[in-house]
């Protein structure tokens, strides 16, 4: 059977063909426009991504710990201690001695850290959370409280941590530790726990510290970092961790209320001015430990003294027993340190001593503690 194509049929086919072509071309143009739009859409910045994540975050996830870490984390820095050492060929070279953490607490670049983090350093390198580094200058150190202040001159606006009130802390409330455990590789690490105890006395060498105890993990490298409350306020400077077999979850921080006046003095003067008595003492506990049979009648035995120190000038002599200092009974060396720490240079302080069987009252004018003095 022969098919014939009429003019009308041919016109219809041509029209259909042209329509298909236009449809195909239109789809291609639309597709290209869509692709162009996709390609030209800018990628989200880190800040935009964070805001987007926050917008989609449930209240169950966006906890006070998350908020506190977000608020304080940018102000917690890494501190690398470098010192000069001699190599096998007797050449001096600058090598890393260790690293720790610090907390930026002022916009002009003041950083709170531990004394043992910066001790003996010839060079200090401060690393910000974003990876930028600055050379730091140690403004002052205080071995008695294990605090130090470092300063950096940054070419940017620095994040600053807010100090809280450590006197208002309650046992059991949340505690967040932020720092750089085990070095800069783990910088900005956050661990959480609770305030386990307050006013813990910890003897280190000849010094006694009154510290905040927490079970938030504090490891080597966390020293100098921030202990933070649930409101995102720094309530302590992380300082020490008991590390022994079978002992976990015991960390310590210097209360921020005790640290603030010391940091101020270190930043302004480079050191802390403290009064001293000028004596070496023996308490009942130490006497028993040394096997010395002495009845100290609840006081402190004066072993020796600085010849021209405050106690000597006030009439106290070796073999006297100090039973009261500034109206407070002192049964241990730690008791006297605490009482002395509340006094000022130049202050006249009443001291009650036992000399033989006689109770004698003396007045001592306190003077500034000499540098590196191990006496009271």
Mean pLDDT of 280-299: 83
- pLDDT exceeds cutoff 70 at 284: yes
How far apart (Å, rounded) are the C-alpha atoms in residues 157 and 135? 16
- The CATH number of the domain holding residue 243 is 2.40.10.10
Q: Which residue has the higher pLDDT, 17 or 121?
A: 121
Residue 145 resides in a domain: yes
Choose the weakest-confidence range: 35-44, 111-120, 288-297: 35-44
Q: Which residue has the higher pLDDT, 292 or 3?
A: 292
Residues forming beta bridges with residue 81, ordered by sequence position: 98, 124
How far apart (Å, rounded) are the C-alpha atoms in residues 41 and 81? 45
Quote the number of domains for the chain: 3
Integer CA distances (angstroms), 263 to 112, 136, 137, in order: 7, 16, 15
Same domain, 282 and 221: no
What token pair was written down for 315? 């009439």
Segment 216-266, tens digit of pLDDT: 888 777 888 999 999 999 999 998 655 444 556 788 899 999 899 999 999
Residue 43 resides in a domain: no
Report the pLDDT value the prediction gives residue 203, as an integer from 0 to 100.
61
Report the pLDDT value the prediction gives residue 313, as an integer from 0 to 100.
92
Segment 24-73, tens digit of pLDDT: 444 444 444 444 444 555 666 655 666 666 667 677 788 888 888 889 98
- The CATH number of the domain holding residue 328 is 2.30.42.10
- Percent of the chain residues past pLDDT 70, beyond the cut: 76
Residue 54 resides in a domain: no
Residue where one domain finishes, among candidates 260, 287, 321: 260
Q: Which residue has the higher pLDDT, 244 or 353?
A: 353
Residues forming beta bridges with residue 125, ordered by sequence position: 80, 135
Residue where one domain finishes, among candidates 124, 151, 178: 151
Q: Using pLDDT thresholds of 50, 70 and 90, give the confidence band for residue 99.
A: confident
Q: Using pLDDT thresholds of 50, 70 and 90, give the confidence band for residue 17.
A: very low
Mean pLDDT of 115-142: 89
Mean pLDDT of 163-181: 91
Angle value at C-alpha 68, between 128 and 49, nearest 5 degrees = 70
Residue 225 resides in a domain: yes
Same domain, 364 and 279: yes
Report the pLDDT value the prediction gives residue 221, as an integer from 0 to 100.
77
Same domain, 327 and 255: no
Residue where one domain finishes, among candidates 260, 287, 306: 260
Segment 173-223, tens digit of pLDDT: 999 999 887 666 667 788 889 999 998 877 654 456 788 999 888 877 788
Residue 11 resides in a domain: no
* HEC string for the chain: CCCCCCHHHHHHHHHHHHHHHHHHHHHHHHHHHHHHHHHHCCCCCHHHHHHHHHHCCCCCCCCHHHHHHHHHHHHEEEEEEEEEEECCCCCEEEEEEEEEEEEECCCCCEEEECHHHHCCCCEEEEECCCCCEEEEEEEEEECCCCEEEEECCCCCCCCCCCECCHHHCCCCCEEEEEECCCCHHHCCEEEEEEEEEEEEEEEECCEEEEEEEECCCCCCCCCCCEEECCCCCEEEEEEEECCECCECCCEEEEEHHHHHHHHHHHHHHCCCCCEECCEEEECHHHHHHCCCCCCCCCCEEEEEECCCCHHHHCCCCCCCEEEEECCEECCCHHHHHHHHHCCCCCCEEEEEEEECCEEEEEEEECEECCCCCCCC
Residue 222 resides in a domain: yes
Residue 42 resides in a domain: no
Same domain, 102 and 181: no
How far apart (Å, rounded) are the C-alpha atoms in residues 199 and 247? 20
Same domain, 284 and 364: yes
Integer CA distances (angstroms), 282 to 223, 300, 327, in order: 32, 6, 20
Same domain, 321 and 281: yes
Same domain, 280 and 344: yes
User: Domain range holding 255?
Assistant: 166-260
Mean pLDDT of 153-167: 91
Residues forming beta bridges with residue 252, ordered by sequence position: 213, 240
**Which positions are catalytic?**
116, 146, 223
Among 12-21, 212-221, 320-329, name the most confident range. 320-329
How far apart (Å, rounded) are the C-alpha atoms in residues 65 and 195? 14
Report the pLDDT value the prediction gives residue 368, as an integer from 0 to 100.
86
Report the pLDDT value the prediction gives residue 50, as an integer from 0 to 100.
60
Same domain, 109 and 190: no
Report the pLDDT value the prediction gives residue 74, as an integer from 0 to 100.
92
């Amino acid at each position: 059977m022969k098919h014939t194509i009429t003019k009308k049929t041919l016109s219809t086919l041509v029209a259909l063909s042209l329509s298909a072509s236009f449809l195909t071309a239109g789809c291609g143009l639309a597709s290209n426009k869509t692709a162009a739009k996709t390609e030209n859409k800018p990628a989200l910045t880190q800040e935009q991504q964070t805001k987007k994540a926050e917008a989609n975050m449930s209240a169950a996830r966006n906890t006070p710990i998350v908020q506190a870490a977000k608020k304080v984390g940018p102000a917690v820095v890494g501190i690398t201690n470098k010192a000069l050492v001699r190599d096998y060929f007797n050449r001096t070279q600058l090598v890393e001695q260790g690293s720790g953490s610090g907390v930026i607490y002022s916009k002009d670049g003041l950083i709170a850290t531990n004394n043992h983090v910066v001790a003996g350093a010839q060079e200090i390198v401060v690393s910000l959370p974003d990876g930028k580094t600055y050379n730091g200058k140690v403004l002052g150190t205080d071995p008695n409280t294990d605090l130090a202040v470092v300063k950096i001159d940054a070419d940017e606006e620095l994040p600053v941590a807010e100090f809280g009130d450590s006197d208002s802390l309650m046992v059991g409330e949340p505690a967040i530790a932020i720092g750089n455990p085990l070095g800069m590789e783990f910088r900005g690490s956050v661990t959480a726990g609770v305030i386990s105890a307050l006013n813990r006395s910890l003897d280190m060498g000849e010094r006694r510290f009154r510290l905040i105890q927490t079970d938030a993990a504090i490891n080597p490298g966390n020293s100098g970092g921030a202990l933070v409350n649930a409101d995102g306020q720094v309530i302590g400077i992380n300082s020490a961790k008991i590390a022994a077999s079978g002992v976990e979850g015991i960390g310590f921080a210097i209360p921020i209320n005790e640290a603030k006046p010391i940091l101020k003095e270190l930043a302004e003067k480079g050191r802390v001015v403290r009064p001293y008595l000028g004596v070496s003492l023996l308490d009942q506990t130490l006497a028993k430990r040394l096997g010395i049979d002495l009845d100290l009648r609840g006081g402190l035995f004066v072993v020796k003294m600085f010849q021209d120190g405050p106690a000597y000038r006030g009439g106290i002599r070796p073999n006297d027993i100090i039973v009261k200092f500034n109206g407070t009974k002192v049964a241990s060396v730690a008791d006297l340190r605490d009482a002395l720490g509340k006094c000022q240079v130049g202050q006249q302080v009443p001291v009650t001593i036992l000399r033989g069987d006689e109770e004698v009252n003396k007045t001592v004018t306190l003077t500034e503690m000499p540098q590196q003095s191990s006496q009271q």
